[in-house]
Amino acid sequence: MDKETLFYMSADTIEELKPVTEVFDLSGKVAVVTGTVGLALVVIDRLAQCGAKVVFGSRTEEWGLMAEEALREKGYEVKYLRTDVRKVEDCFALTRFAEENYGNVDIVVPVAATWGPRAFVDMKEEEWDDVIDTDLKGQYFTVQAAARSMIRGGKGGKVVTIASVAHRADDMTKIAMMTNYNAAKAGVVGITKGIAKELKQYGINVNCIAPGGMLTPGAMMNSIRSHELYGEEWEEDVKTYGIKTPMCSTLDEVAFMILTMCTDASNFMYGQIIEIDGGSQFSFQEKPWSYTMENGKHA
Give 125's contacts (C-beta < 8 A, 6+ positions apart). none
Where are any strands of DSSP class E within 13-98?
30-34, 53-58, 78-82
102 is catalytic: no
C-alpha distances (whole Å) from 225 to each of 6, 205, 207, 220 are 65, 38, 33, 10
Count Cβ neighbours within 10 Å for each residue of 141-170 and write b for 16 or more, e otherwise.
bbbbbbbebbbebeeebbbbbbbbbbbbeb
Query: Active site residue: 76, 140, 181, 230, which one?
Result: 181
Q: Residue 14 and residue 232: Cα distance in Å, rounded?
A: 60
Judge whether 299 and 291 are in contact, CB under 8 Å. yes
- Helix, strand, or coil (residue 184): helix
Known catalytic residues? Answer: 181
